[in-house]
Structure 1
Amino acid sequence: MGLGSKLRIGWLYTINHSLNRLTGRWARQGSEHFSIVRTVGRKSGKTFETPIIVRPIEGGFVCELTYGPEVNWYRNLVAANGGEIVHNGVTTKIVGLEPMTTAEGIAAFTPFQRRVLRMLKRTHFVKLIAA
């Protein structure tokens, strides 16, 4: 691994952990822009809480996978076929996942959010199916 790759990974790690603390606090305070996903670790069995961006829709939530589908919280949801979402202070059980196209995912968000998602070139979306 080259120096550039190591620097990029270190920068992403720092940003991710700093932002997760801040957005996690906002989500716990009931922010409509951030939610908490609770998952159980595939190997550890520990419960994890991760701040994410979701949009409520009929039957569940649309989730924008900021770092793609390889992140641990998403892989934990897939392995367990569910988990929990805390959105606006309300905990909802997630009982399934359904892939979405980029167009479907972006369409679920507000016009302002759509512009931001397009500007950031976000392409990974999933429907989290509520119980």
Structure 2
Amino acid sequence: MRDTAMDSVRDLVRTFNKYVLNPAMLQLAGRKHWYASVIRHTGRKSGKSYVTPVVADPVSDGFVVPLPYGTGVDWVRNVLAAGRATITSAGSTYDVVAPEIIDATSAAALLSPRRRRGFRRLGIDKFLRVTLAK
């Protein structure tokens, strides 16, 4: 498939996830023994609070979140603009700060070999790294 065709497919999947899968995922995300986490963020224009299910891998000083839809999605832009968010993962809630976009090579150094392989197979090349607030 050409890039534009692949982009169209990715946009369709993203839209489906946003309106169908994400609301269902929020019922379990963030709970103990569940793979998905919840990120709480504030709208950069509206100031409204939002919740989004994500995969947030814990690292020594925070979390690394894969960005399968790239860096232009609203929740990522909101977190970057605010400079902070809250992540609920495995039943615990963490305030996080200093969000930064990192590439796959930088993320690989922080992730387990299993996670690196999985994200590489999915073609994920951008990640959000956040640090635990002190």
Please indicate the TM-score interval, normalised by the length of the shorter structure: 0.7 to 0.9
AA aligned opposite 1:124: K
* Alpha-carbon spacing, 1:29–1:118, altered in 2? closer, same or farther (3 Å): same
Partner of 1:47: 49
In structure 1, what is the equivalent of residue 127 of structure 2?
125
Alpha carbons 1:35, 1:54 under 8 Å: kept = yes
Instruction: Give me the whole-angstrom Cα distance separating, in 1, the residues matched to 2:34 and 2:113.
Output: 15
Q: How does 1:48-67 map to 2 (within 5 A)?
A: 48-67=50-69
User: 1:106 touches 1:117 (CA, 8 Å); kept in 2?
Assistant: no
- Structure 1 residue 127: deviation in Å? 1.1
Q: Does 1:95 align with 2:129?
A: no
Residues 1:31 and 1:24: Cα distance change in structure 2 (over 3 Å) = farther
Paired positions, count: 127
Does the CA contact (< 8 Å) of 1:84 and 1:91 recur in 2?
A: yes
| 67-76 or 8-17, larger mean C-alpha shift | 8-17
* Structure 2 SS opposite 1:37: strand
How has the CA–CA distance of structure 1 residues 23 and 105 changed in structure 2, closer, same or farther, with 3 Å as cutoff? Answer: farther
Aligned counterparts of 1:102 and 1:18: Cα–Cα separation in 2: 28
Match of 1:113 among 112, 115, 119: 115
- CA gap 1:20/1:57 in 2 versus in 1, 3 angstroms: same
Q: Please give the alpha-carbon distance, in whole angstroms, between the structure 2 residues aligned to 1:121 and 1:100.
A: 14
Task: State, as a whole percentage, how many aligned pairs show the same letter.
Answer: 31
Could you tell me how far 1:10 is from its partner in structure 2? 4.6
Shift of 1:24: 2.2
Unaligned runs of 5+ in 1: none
Q: Where does residue 27 of structure 1 map in the other structure?
A: 29
TM-score scaled by length of structure 2: 0.81
Q: TM-score, normalised by structure 1?
A: 0.83
Runs of 4 or more above 3 Å deviation: 7-12
User: What does the per-residue CA deviation read over 1:71-100, in whole Å, with 9 as the maximum and x for residues that have no partner?
Assistant: 111111111111111111211111211332
Structure 2 residue ranges without an equivalent (≥5) = none
